[in-house]
Structure 1
Amino acid sequence: MNRLKLTDVTKYVEENIGTFHQKRIDGLKKLQLKSVLKRKNPYLFKAKHLLTAEEIIRKLTDAFISSNEETLFGDWLEGLAIFINQKVYNGWKSGIQGIDLEFDKNNIRYIVNIKSGPNWGNSSQIGKMKSDFNTAKRTLRTSNSGLIVVAVNGCCYGRDNNPDKGSYFKYCGQDFWSFISGEENLYKDIVEPIGHKAKEKNEMFLASYAKMINKFTKEFANDFCEDNGEINWEKLVEFNSGNFNNSQLKKA
């Protein structure tokens, strides 16, 4: 085990946090209004009494962006966790399906599936993770029958007061960062570096966001508003949920 240097963590974050911010902007540029409209509930917009094109655009795009950012930042935090573990325990990015990180500690091979937060999946998804853990254990023991393998679901934030899940452990927040680094306060130490140039990067994102809102509002008004500015809810619902044999839907 090596002692973690926070200067290494800070340097890694400063060199790599820009990737997350750039992917946020790239995600906006790739976004297509009608693709998003097809995935959102038009009845909910009506039930919430949304009256303007811009209101609808902001609601549906903000929901999409929030979900997308959770995924992007979760992936970024996974990279940070693997980097930190490499520095301390010489861990490595696993090549086994469903496993993100492998490392050895106290004669135990740990296999880790990294998630952003604790409430990440339904019963089927958790069942898939358990299956991946079991497959990974069999794979590793084939090459080394005496190998002790322990599976861990690591979550970058949150908490779980009952980490022993029987066939695997679930470490969240402080417990996870301490587990991969040996540092009890790492979960707090990484906060400041992650904010590196956040204001500058976010201003760039907001500039792209404003352009997208204006572009989508204009597109929505052209396609789903009457000449007097009123939203044509029938046309919007038809686009979202109508039979694809409908000729008007084909034009849209």
Structure 2
Amino acid sequence: MEFEKDLVRYIVSIKSGPNWGNSSQIRRMIDNFNRAKKILRTNTFSTNVVAVNGCCYGKDDQPDKGDYLKLCGQRFWEFISDNEGLYTEIIEPIGYTAKENNEQFEEEYGKVINRFTLEFMQSFCDTEGQIDWQKIVQLNSAKKL
């Protein structure tokens, strides 16, 4: 993402949270930031380019990383919206929706597991519930007739 605010050109790499990558992934992000800064300064003559690693959640109380800013959670959402409360305004409804969807998923998942178990038992178990391994091996490895 790229935008201008208060005469500063910001280039933003959005990540899920503060611990999103290993050291080589962070180095690659910094390299990408540096290339983008160089291109922007060459093409647009914009001298004030700031790179931002924006994290959708979490905290980092030392946002200045030297080569870039790391803005997490509320700091990031406020930075891109100028709304201090946006973080809670969007997260709370998402939480409710996620809970509703999770409950529906769990119910449907249970049905699928039950159907799979029934089909497996009918096809690959004897009347006492023991697995018929010969049928499993044949299903997996026997040549077609």
Shorter-normalised TM-score: what interval? 0.7 to 0.9
Within the alignment, does 1:208 sit opposite 2:108 as a pair?
yes
Deviation of the 1:128 alpha carbon: 1.6
For each residue in 1:131-181, what CA deviation from the matched residue of structure 2 results, as whole angstroms up to 9, or x when unmatched? 221221122222112332111011111101111111111011111111111
> 1:1-252 maps to which residues of 2 (within 5 A)?
101-195=1-95, 200-217=100-117, 229=130, 251=141
Change (3 A) 1:200 1:121: closer
Q: Where is the helix percentage greater, Structure 1 or Structure 2? A: 1
Aligned residue for 1:141, secondary structure, equals helix
Closer, same or farther in 2 for the Cα pair 1:119/1:145, shift >3 Å?
same
Output the amino acid matched with 2:141: K
Q: Secondary structure at the match of 1:190?
A: helix
Against the structure 1 CA distance between its residues 200 and 171, is the aligned structure 2 distance closer, same or farther, given a 3 Å change threshold?
closer
Q: Secondary structure at the match of 1:151?
A: strand
Q: What is the rounded CA distance, in whole Å, between the counterparts of 1:221 and 1:179 in structure 2?
A: 56
1:206 positional shift: 2.8
Structure 2 gap segments, 5+ residues each: none
Amino acid corresponding to residue 88 of structure 2 in structure 1:
K
Q: For this pair of structures, how many residues does the alignment match?
A: 135
Change in 2 beyond 3 A, CA 1:179/1:226: same
Aligned to 1:91: none
Q: Percent of aligned pairs with the same residue?
A: 58
Gaps of 5+ in 1: 1-100, 233-246
Q: Which has the larger radius of gyration?
A: 2
- The Cα of 1:197 is off from its aligned counterpart by 5.1
Alpha-carbon shift at residue 114 of structure 1 (Å): 0.8
TM-score by length of 2: 0.73
2:20 is paired with a residue whose SS is: coil
1:167, 1:111 → 2: CA distance?
12
CA distance in 2, matches of 1:212, 1:110: 47
Higher relative CO (CA 8 A, sep ≥ 6), structure 1 or 2? 1
- Letter aligned with residue 126 of structure 1: I
1:94 corresponding residue in structure 2: none
Give the TM-score normalised by structure 1. Answer: 0.45
- Letter aligned with residue 188 of structure 1: T
Q: Which structure's residues are more often strand, by fraction? A: 2
- Kept after mapping to 1: 8 A contact 2:40/2:46: no
